[in-house]
Amino acid sequence: MIDDLMIITSYYPPEIGAASNRIYHLSEGLKQNYNVTVVTQLPNYPTGKIFKDYKRKFLSKSHQDGIVVNRLWVYPSVSKNKIVRLFAMLSYSFSLIWFFIWHRIPNKVIIQSPPLLVSFTCLLFLRSKKRQLILNVSDLWPSAGLELGALKKGIGYTFLKKIERFNYKNANLIMGQSNEILAHIKQITTQPKLFLYRNYPDINIPKSQPQQIIKEKLTVVYAGLLGVAQGIYKLCNNLDYSHIEFHIYGSGAEEENIKDFIKKHPNLPLFFHGRLDRAELHQEIVKYDVTIIPLLNRIYGAVPSKIFEYAKLGLPMLYFGGGEAESLIDTYKLGWIAESGNYTNLNTVIATIDKSKIDYNFREEIKQKALIHFDFNTQLTALKRVL
């Protein structure tokens, strides 16, 4: 008889972004060995508005490729007002408590963190000697919020640090996406088992290389969320365009600022293409010479999942974010590294990239490294042994 397993997350398709993709692939991989149920909020990210197909609903239940998906009411918001944002997070926590009261919860539960308050709610209300609670930690909040400038030290920050400690100490198993995350948790508690779970994508590696865009200049592409953490608007303002064309795909909080910048600088080789679905995006971005993966500030514990996805696509990378991800780019020779936050160094590195050497063989080498070192199924098999 197959055991039941529940995954509780704030993000899930049709929402976009690394968090949504990460949990989707995890749920798809685990459904071969478990009856998987996903509990999430009504989709609203990154717009802060409930998606059209889910408006005026308090609860939505569906069966998607063998997975039961329960979507709960939430007060969505992308407001910068801290009280409004807090209420938005609490609204989902209240919905979860309601769900826990009226539904049977299996003995294995994977809880996505952050948001801290959501994971705290789950760990507080689902504690049981019979139940295994697995915390999937993708970012180190609240310290990451401090580094991003989204939080300041004070009573609120101290309160969140206490919640963080509670969460780690009350989990039976913690899955961390980086060695830095696991090292941080070890400093707080040695109680739960720790497992390094990278965000390897479950995608097929293209067999043939699509025709690249033939340009004299180096073609650089960014694809993903246009949020504060990525700093694409600041990047647009600081790039030296004499050597490159810069193409942007995605949506998010900085989208209008980026569009406005392009309008005000019509002579720059800077292009915004909007948002594409994942399959179409993969077909487009491999046509460019290099993809840039930036972080506005170096965030301890952060390893962008784009690294593993783009490696599988054979797309050379320019990493501009610091931290553990730099060692991955360097160790596996996936592209170039620029000093985090140093735009002068970034432009210098870009100027040294030889477009002629970004050929078919170089891209195939990257694909082969991804096939060996970033394999989703190998990692999933190891995870199943500890669940």
Cα–Cα distances (Å) from 349 to 145, 213, 308, 320, 337, in that order, read 29, 21, 22, 10, 8
Asked if 71 and 36 count as a contact pair (C-beta separation under 8 A), the reply is no
For residue 214, the model assigns a pLDDT of 66
Average pLDDT of the chain is 90
Asked if 311 and 367 count as a contact pair (C-beta separation under 8 A), the reply is yes
Task: Give the range among 8-12, 74-78, 245-249, 255-259 with minimum mean pLDDT.
Answer: 74-78
CATH of 3-201+375-386, one of 3.40.190.10, 3.40.50.2000, 2.60.120.10, 1.10.10.10: 3.40.50.2000
Query: For the chain, how far is it from start to end, CA to CA, in angstroms?
Result: 16
For residue 188, the model assigns a pLDDT of 94
Mean of pLDDT values over 69-90: 84
Mean of pLDDT values over 268-274: 95
Please state the pTM of the whole predicted model: 0.86
**CA 373/CA 303 separation, integer angstroms:** 15
Tens digits of per-residue pLDDT, 112-136? 999 999 999 999 999 988 999 999 9
Listed in order, the ranges of the chain carrying CATH 3.40.50.2000 are: 3-201+375-386, 218-373
Q: Tally the residues of the chain.
A: 387
The architecture in CATH of the region 218-373 reads 3-Layer(aba) Sandwich (3.40)
